[in-house]
Every structure is written in C-alpha cells, then in structure tokens.
C-alpha cells in the first residue's frame, strides 16, 4: 500500500516535471528564433539590404503611425543617405506572451557620411508576432 502511494506521488512529480521542461523548451526555442530575427535585422542594416529587411517585417507592421510600406521607404531613404552603416544590437531582454513578444535592447549605430564616421547608442522596444512563416517584427523599429 505504501509502495503504491509512493509510486503515485513519483509518477505525478515526473509528469509535472516533464510538463515544465516541455514548456520551458518552447520558450527557449521561441527566444532563439526571435534572437535570430533581430540578428538578421542587424545584418540587413549593415548590408543596406531593404529586401532582407522587408522579409523580417510582418504584413501588418505598424509603428509610430507608419505602415509597413512607409517604414520601408523611410529606411530605404536612410540607406541612400549614408554610404556605410554599422549596426549592432546588444543587451536584449525578450518577453514572450503566446504568439506575441517584445524585445527591449540597446543598439550601436555608426554611419559614414562626408568622410566622417558618426555614432550613437540608443535603447529600443520592438514588438514581434509569430506568423505561419515564423517570428516577424510587427512594430517598434
């Protein structure tokens, strides 16, 4: 009888442990995928590649009153204004909420214009959503 009680308790303990491990694994995979999207954004900025950047934005992207198309036009003009761009994001904090996520991060931006490098460091908040094709930036840039 005591053995059955111990077996039942252990069985329930292992079920709870397995569920916790599965749930934490999903969060880890999502955060890794989000980190990948944000790293790809840095690469697109460094390469001044508007097509690569466009692929990272959700179809319903909206930020500061800008639609997806308006934001891409703004970034394209930014690319045309500077001959070289170096962007590196760091100190990320990602918060998951189901199919939505928010990332707070710092980024260092260096731009080359008129024979001089100019640099700045900013903090930003980026919203992301999980779509059928993976995580996409939905706002905040």
**Structure confidence at residue 2 (pLDDT):** 57
Cα separations in angstroms, 90 against 27, 34, 35, 43, 119:
20, 13, 10, 13, 15
How confident is the model at residue 57, as a pLDDT? 96
Q: What is the pLDDT of residues 87-126, one digit of tens each?
A: 999 999 999 999 999 999 999 999 998 899 999 999 999 9
> 66 lies in which domain range?
2-139
Residue 15 has a pLDDT of 42
Q: Is pLDDT of 42 > 90?
A: yes
Q: What is the total count of domains within the chain?
A: 1
User: CATH number, domain at 29?
Assistant: 3.10.450.50
To the nearest whole percent, how much of the chain has pLDDT over 70? 82
Q: Confidence class of residue 14 from pLDDT cuts 50, 70 and 90?
A: very low
């Amino acid at each position: 009888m005591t053995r059955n009680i111990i077996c039942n308790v252990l069985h329930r303990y292992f079920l709870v442990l397995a569920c916790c491990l599965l749930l934490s694994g999903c969060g880890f995979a999502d955060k890794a995928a989000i980190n990948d999207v944000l790293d790809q954004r840095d690469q697109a900025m460094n390469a001044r590649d508007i097509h690569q950047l466009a692929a990272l934005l959700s179809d319903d992207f909206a930020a500061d009153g800008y639609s997806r198309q308006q934001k891409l036009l703004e970034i394209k003009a930014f690319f045309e204004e500077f001959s070289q761009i170096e962007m590196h994001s760091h100190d990320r904090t990602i918060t998951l909420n189901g199919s939505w996520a928010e990332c707070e991060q710092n980024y260092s931006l260096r731009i080359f214009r008129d024979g001089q490098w100019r640099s700045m460091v900013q903090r930003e908040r980026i919203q992301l959503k999980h779509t059928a094709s993976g995580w996409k930036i939905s706002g905040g840039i």
